[in-house]
Structure 1
Amino acid sequence: MESSLLAYREVIKSMIKDGYTDQNISDHLQYECGLTKGFSQTNIRRFFTQNGIGRERVHDSQLEVEVAKAAVETGPTYGRKMMTGYLASKGIRASEGRVGRVLRETNQPYHADRYRRLRNLNPVPYSAEYMGHKLHIDQNEKLVMYGVTHVLAVDGFSSNIVSHSTMPVKNNLTIYQEDYQSAVLRYRMWDQIRVDHRKEFYLTLFMQEKLADYRNNTGRQPYMQTKSTQNHIIERMWPEVAKIGLDRMVQSWNAHRIQGKGIPDQLAHGGCPKRLPADLLPEATDAADCYHQDVGSSLTRVSLFGRNPFATVEHQTAAEQEFARNYADIAELFERAIHNEPAPFQNGIKDLIGIVRRYV
């Protein structure tokens, strides 16, 4: 028994270090390594004992420190699952039960508030057959009046956030390049794209249809446009809105465990079944030229937000450098704001206005 697993000792140790469960390891040995026996979870645990292999346990006092630090960075909305995911993305691995206990004990008001707002976030039955079946792309414009639009692309099978972008104004070229192109180059080709009926996805849908023959299952429609509320998996994923918050949310989501499904990062590990030659995905400007040639209409190349008040690049650079000296860590403003301390952020805006006025 031991000899059948001994050859995979380093693989098993590496998977344990990366946070894989015994079931994940068993599946990997069976389907990826080709073992026909000796790969059950019971045998794997026996192998751990016989070879002195085990998962490192974070001490309770250290876990309390790490959870407290992470809560400052993520705000009051993260429950045990998302907090466990955020800690895992930083290399700190602990069970959801332990993390949940620390959250309950260290900040009762936040815990009580999360409990009151608890609701079913996924009431609609949903299915995707494999990684690469469906790619959902959607946007959030809650801060559009401040020049902030977020776009997320999520694989339907693994729930992994495969790409995300933040832009001042929604733009076809930016969404294509930062969300669609980057996702396909990294994870390969999806059978179907799911979006709503907005115009900013035209270039993405055009390229998806143009490359339809390179999909794993060409019998499916290359894309579907539905009502925004029917974009199923993605409409519920906007817990934070600033770029810093979005980056942290993506790390947490992709590393957290979804009941009955698994961890998105692990489920998406192998990518989509169908690989696409990189030269078939042109840069955004070239794709827009192709769109204009084939469709006959033009896309907005650059989406502007507001008016640049600076007369010269030198004045703008000087103003930005002065603000950066006064506010070296923008993340601190974000963290204070999400903990109901808006004054530092408000003061930062006032200082920025004053600095700009001196240079224009």
Structure 2
Amino acid sequence: MDEADIRRMVEEGISHSEISYRLRRRHPGVRELSERSVRILCFEHDIHSNSDVSNRELRQIVEAGVREVGPAYGRKMMKGYLQTRGFRVWEKRVGWALGQVAPGYHRRRQALAHRRVNPIPYYAQYCGHKMHIDQNKKLLMYGVTHVLAIDGYSGFILGIITMPIKNNILIYRHLFRPILIQFGLWDQIRVDHGKEFILSLYVQERLANLRRNQRRAPHVQSMSRENHPAERIWVEVNQRVNYPVKECLNDLVETDQLDLNDDIVKFCILWLAMRVCQAGIELFVLANTLCVTLYIGKGTPNHRVQNHQAVRPPAGTIPTVDYAVQLFEGEGGILRRPTEYGNDLIADNAIHLARSQYFTLNHGTYNDLYSATVNGYHTPFHDAWRYFYHLTITL
């Protein structure tokens, strides 16, 4: 086969099957012109249509990605991650590179036995039909709680926040209200029976007459296991963020380096754990918007959410946080105000800022700490929390 001719056709975007067909017509009777033969030749000679990245460069890029995001990113998620870095690479090439640069991680992913298949068909008619909100308390022992909102149709993560202790007011302020402002009003919100979403559901009900389809109930509370899209996301977040960080924190407790009865220690470990988790979650969300693993249908979540049918409420109709609290409590509702986990000795904002600057100067970025932790290297995190604790005491 003429390698230069095949390279030209591949670069023009012609498929392997079409190239095989053209070659067989051009050279009748010649063997080894099948689609499989063309595909093997292209792989062996680094001929690719959707990327100018060679196999050697791809291995280097993927190796750097694995160092940053750890062992849980498979070919689909790693493809999305690489796209956030400006590299568009064929999914099968990414899988091949993962097997080359981190074979141990690759075998571990293949051996996972806890993948669940939902036996009940799930249906969302369009982007803007169902919004699922759920919480994750895998790190509750260390004061860290995650709350996310996801569109049931596209799989697009509308928002995800990390807070010390779950709270209605914080969820409305940092998650639900920003979604209303940025995207609009979903037809229906689906949550579990927890009380931490009451304020958001109250506002959803007040705005219910502005929805696209008002025949649907504005919100539904069901068993946590029936909140399918959100629960599926948590499986991914736990693998990639929560479990590696929890293992690192458990090491501190098991070696008696962490006394969770000390309020100052509790605050310091929370401060660092929240930021390291948030660094990992931000990487996950970016990769998820460009991958195809966590939803049903064609197209990426980022693409499918662009034509959403959520209705943008008129200006001034979305209650401010204080006004929403006032309305809810005025109708007899009771809301707890946000509380702290542990005790921060520093009250002055200028000293707060100085502490953060000192910490970053001496221990790098939270992304660096996350990358080390997720790859099983706990020493940087342990050193960082001890430094922050002593820095807090000193200041």
Normalised by the length of structure 1, the TM-score is 0.80
**Deviation string for 1:192-251 (max 9, x for gaps)?**
000011111001100111111111111111001111111111112223231111111111
Distance in 2 between residues matched to 1:282 and 1:73, nearest whole Å:
40
Are the aligned partners of 1:122 and 1:233 in contact in 2 as well (CA < 8 Å)?
no
- Find the residue that maps to 2:232 and give its secondary structure: coil
201, 208, 224: which is aligned to 2:204?
208
- Find the residue that maps to 2:213 and give its secondary structure: coil
Corresponding position: 1:353 with 2:389: yes
349, 359, 363: which is aligned to 1:327?
363
**Which moved further from structure 2: 213-222 or 117-126?**
117-126
The residue identity in structure 2 corresponding to 1:143 is L
**Which moved further from structure 2: 319-328 or 191-200?**
319-328
Distance in 2 between residues matched to 1:131 and 1:334, nearest whole Å:
32
Distance in 1 between residues matched to 2:324 and 2:73, nearest whole Å:
39
Q: 1:313–1:269: structure 2 CA closer, same or farther, 3 Å change rule? A: closer
Distance in 2 between residues matched to 1:267 and 1:158, nearest whole Å:
6
Are the aligned partners of 1:79 and 1:114 in contact in 2 as well (CA < 8 Å)?
yes
Distance in 2 between residues matched to 1:123 and 1:346, nearest whole Å:
39
**Deviation string for 1:58-103 (max 9, x for gaps)?**
3322222221121111110000111111112222111211111111
- Which residue is 1:277 aligned to? 314
The alignment's C-alpha RMSD in Å is 1.9
Would you say how many aligned residue pairs link Structure 1 and Structure 2? 305
- Which residue is 2:280 aligned to? 245
Corresponding position: 1:254 with 2:289: yes
Distance in 1 between residues matched to 2:125 and 2:349, nearest whole Å:
51
Are the aligned partners of 1:169 and 1:304 in contact in 2 as well (CA < 8 Å)?
yes
The residue identity in structure 2 corresponding to 1:140 is N
Corresponding position: 1:103 with 2:125: no
Distance in 2 between residues matched to 1:192 and 1:296, nearest whole Å:
24
Q: Point out which structure has higher relative CO (alpha carbons under 8 A, 6+ apart).
A: 2
176, 179, 192: which is aligned to 2:175?
179
Distance in 2 between residues matched to 1:118 and 1:250, nearest whole Å:
24
Are the aligned partners of 1:135 and 1:153 in contact in 2 as well (CA < 8 Å)?
yes
**Deviation string for 1:25-63 (max 9, x for gaps)?**
xxxxxxxxxxxxxxxxxxxxxxxxxxxxx8554332222
Corresponding position: 1:147 with 2:147: no
- Which residue is 2:333 aligned to? 297
CA drift of 1:333 comes to 1.3
- Which residue is 1:112 aligned to? 107
Distance in 1 between residues matched to 2:201 and 2:309, nearest whole Å:
18
Q: 1:61–1:273: structure 2 CA closer, same or farther, 3 Å change rule? A: same
Are the aligned partners of 1:160 and 1:265 in contact in 2 as well (CA < 8 Å)?
yes
Gaps of 5+ in 2: 1-48, 243-276
The residue identity in structure 2 corresponding to 1:330 is Y
